[in-house]
Amino acid sequence: MKKIGIFSLSVFMLFILAACGRDYEAPVIEGVQDEDVLQGSTFDPMEGVSAYDYDGNDLTDDIEVDGFVNTNILGEHNLTYSVTDDQEQTTTINRYITVIFETEEPYQVYNGNFELGTGGWSLDQPGGEAAWNVENDVLQVDITNPGSEWWQLQIYQLIEIFEGDMYKIEITARSAAGKTLGIGFEDTTAGYAMIAGGTYAIALDEDFETYTFYFESDRSIDAAKFVMYLGQMDADEAEAIVEVESVLIELIDPNSGDLSIEGADDIVIMLNDEFDPLEGISAHDGDSDVLDNLVVQGEVRTNVSNRTPFVVQYVLDIGDNLLVESRIVDVEIGSAANRIFNTDFDLGITGWTVDFPGNYAEGSMRVEEGILEVDITDLGAEYWHIQLSQSGKLIEEGITYELSFRARADQDKVVGLGIEDASDGFASLTDGIPEWTVGSEYETYTFEFTANETLDNVKYALFFGQMAESDEPTTVYVEHFRLREVVPSGESVLQNPDMTEEAGWNFDFPVGEGTMTYEDGTIVADLTDLGDAWWHIQLQQDGIEVSEGMSYLLSITLKSSETR
């Protein structure tokens, strides 16, 4: 018995020692992979997921999941799975679920009936302010500030379009305030250039109506931007609520047959000009006049705050034939290409672009009694996050230009000046950004530059974003922002200013009498009858070119045989 007891104890001790020396593996979680799921679909984070310990025991019920996937919200969602075994060993795995959307056709918008809230749509506010939400499957946009241009409030979605295809866009919307809604397509691969050349404008009614727009693409793009523009179309537009019930894009294959529309050429009109869309327009079906069948679509607002290209469409839909002709009506404000328009803000904000690109900063700009007030509530993180600008300006190689602005601020604020080539990604034409600290008293700040090349799309801007660590939200007041050409000293606009040649000057005796001659670089006027008015004898030049905003110095060296 004694030997058996000793043997049993030895076996037990060996078992204990073997158990104590075992290398336990951490539990395993299976079925946890990154995954794409469709927006609005049902997602179960535990579907297909299981866990086991070192001995193969099922720990699935012990898995803890941290995080939540809302499939109505597009984008990436993070989940963390963790499980602990009886040896207090824990395994943790991260999982990324990306909510995406799909449409039956690539050119269609997703969630065009807003059943999934704002899913698939994006709101951009580069110059305006608005809040949006979906109630009872209707998109509601509460516009508190439409900005100063049509593009400064946008709701958009990326779709795929194809060269040569025609698309029919139908939007059902309303606005009790009569807000104008714009529609457009932008090329995301070409600086968001307007593919149709402008915006198709709709004057919304207080009741829901369905509006139609046709678009034929001249290019194929896999990420074209379809946009509803809610910024200011008309300078009188202010706060408004816009409701959109549905957006539908479908591919059509029209056959124009013998239909024709004449006179729908692109035109340029000026600020506040009248526009008659039917002036000079004719329509025919073969030899028959069908002008009465012609439908004109698209509004043109001429009371704009900045240049706005509108798309007007002429539609003939007769029998099985459909013909659509589009024209661009470009409303311009009349500024000279080599000048800044509305330099003293006499016309309010007209001609100026107010921009808060990327929504990094917040604030507003308005003109009160001829003074631009820049009310900054959030500076953003970069100087360019708040801008006042004009683009499309001409500079000529070798010419020196002076930019000046007169300003003050409620508290010291560093303000920058931009001179950029808008056709080259807004590349700066200066070494660094000229900047000044604007204080509590009005001062005039100036900067000169000489053009190294001739450019026709220069952008001049004042930057009010964060430029210095000391900058804080404040209000800046700008009295004027001006541009002038600097004429080198001694360069005369007159011909033969030194009288060294017999050219340029006219001797005129409309009433008086006498003679004028060139003698050794001097003009000698021998006056025999003065007449009875100062203009009765003249030495003059006609056709001298002078420019608005330029300063000229007139100097004359002369003597007389008698005091006069």
Query: At residue 264, what are phi and psi to the nearest 5 degrees?
Result: -90, 50
Reported as a single tens digit per residue, the pLDDT across 86-123 is: 999 999 999 999 988 788 899 999 999 998 888 889 99
Which two tokens mark 3? 């030997």
| Kind plus residue range of the DSSP H or E element containing 135 | strand 129-135
Look at the block and give the residue holding tokens 């604007």: 438
CA 255 to centroid of chain Cα atoms: 36
Q: Give the residue from 234, 47, 31 showing the smallest Cα distance to 150.
A: 234
pLDDT at 4: 43
Q: CA-CA distances (angstroms) from residue 40 to 37, 70, 100, 478?
A: 9, 8, 9, 50
| CA–CA distance, 108 with 104 (Å, rounded to integer) | 7
| CA–CA distance, 93 with 67 (Å, rounded to integer) | 12
pLDDT at 440: 96
Q: Give the residue from 312, 353, 307 showing the smallest Cα distance to 333.
A: 307
| CA–CA distance, 293 with 260 (Å, rounded to integer) | 12
CA 373 to centroid of chain Cα atoms: 21
Reported as a single tens digit per residue, the pLDDT across 208-223 is: 999 999 999 999 999 8
| CA–CA distance, 264 with 278 (Å, rounded to integer) | 9
Is the pTM value of this prediction over 0.75?
A: no
Beta bridge partners of 362: 378
| CA–CA distance, 485 with 399 (Å, rounded to integer) | 7
pLDDT at 21: 52
pLDDT band for position 490 (cuts 50, 70, 90): low
508, pLDDT greater than 90: no
Q: Give the residue from 453, 461, 410 showing the smallest Cα distance to 433.
A: 461
| DSSP annotation string for 32-72 | ---EEEETT----TTTT-EEE-TT--B-GGG-EEE----TT
pLDDT at 22: 60
Beta bridge partners of 523: 518
| CA–CA distance, 109 with 177 (Å, rounded to integer) | 27
What is the arithmetic mean of pLDDT over 353-365?
A: 89
| CA–CA distance, 387 with 355 (Å, rounded to integer) | 5
Whether residue 193 contacts residue 169, with contact meaning beta carbons closer than 8 Å, is answered with no
3, pLDDT greater than 50: no
First to last CA, the chain: 155
Beta bridge partners of 559: none
Which H, E and C letters describe 442-466, residue by residue? CEEEEEEEECCCCEEEEEEEEECCC
| CA–CA distance, 197 with 517 (Å, rounded to integer) | 61
- At residue 309, the 3 state secondary structure works out as strand
What is the arithmetic mean of pLDDT over 399-411?
A: 95
pLDDT band for position 322 (cuts 50, 70, 90): very high
